[in-house]
Amino acid sequence: MSRKSRRKSLGAVLACLLALVLTGGAVLAGLVLSDPGADAPPPQPVAEERAGEMLRSLLGGEPLTLTQGELSSLLIEAEREHPVSWLLGEELRVKTGEDQTLTLYAPVEWQGRRVALTAVLSLSCDEEEKRIQGRVTSLQAGRLPLPVSWVLPRLAEALPEPFRLEGDVLSVPSQISTLSFLEEYDLAALEVTGVQLSQEGAALSFQINMDGAAGLWQEGLDRLEDFFTP
């Protein structure tokens, strides 16, 4: 979907909110435009020395723990690499809880109006689909609760890659390519296989996925077999 189409999809949601603000009086306007704040620690850049901890995590099978501030920083960095025009990316914040609950604070701007969107998700890993997914349990604009079943189908068309929204489940890929061949074959990837949330942050479990190398090897064998088969 083009960026223009994504803006139209989000615009439909925000236009409805602004219509409510304009026709619903001061109380409703106050709810939508009131910013509840992130209620989360400020972003904390991930230090370079944490790379050694990740390596030890891979070799020893121990989870790597990232603080809430580091999670927010990583999310902001991802938005910088894949900017979304309507999203105030530098203000993204993440708050985690003991029951696998993650609260995402994402302010947006539309036609000069700033609206703070807050979503609460129940987080898990889908190892078969190789995606980290969060089931959206609640959503609000400012301090006004929104019907999840109405908003999400419209937001689905507004999300950029690599985000995916199916029903009430938002997901991102759980693996990152670390070794490729001829820029076409992903031979190895770093895969997140588990996420355990707490009030301190998230404990991530990793593994090296070699499915790409195995697939390339099998493809080579198949070609040899075709070559020597009369």
Instruction: Give the pairing type, strands 169-173 and 131-141.
Output: antiparallel
Give the predicted TM-score (pTM) of the model. 0.74
Cβ within 8 Å of residue 85, ≥6 positions away: 3, 7
Would you state the structure tokens that stand for residue 76, as one six-digit string? 């902001």
Local confidence pLDDT in tens for the 230 residues of the chain: 555 555 555 556 666 655 555 555 555 667 777 888 888 999 998 887 777 777 777 677 788 889 999 999 988 988 888 888 888 999 999 999 989 999 999 998 877 888 899 999 999 988 888 899 999 999 998 898 988 888 888 777 777 777 888 999 999 888 765 433 334 444 456 788 889 999 999 998 877 765 543 343 344 334 434 444 55
Identify the pLDDT of residue 44: 93
Identify the pLDDT of residue 38: 87
Q: In whole angstroms, what is the distance from residue 102 CA to residue 104 CA?
A: 6
Cβ within 8 Å of residue 176, ≥6 positions away: 189, 190
Cis ω on the peptide bond leading into residue 83 (within 30° of 0)? no
Identify the pLDDT of residue 205: 86
C-alpha of 226 from chain center: 43
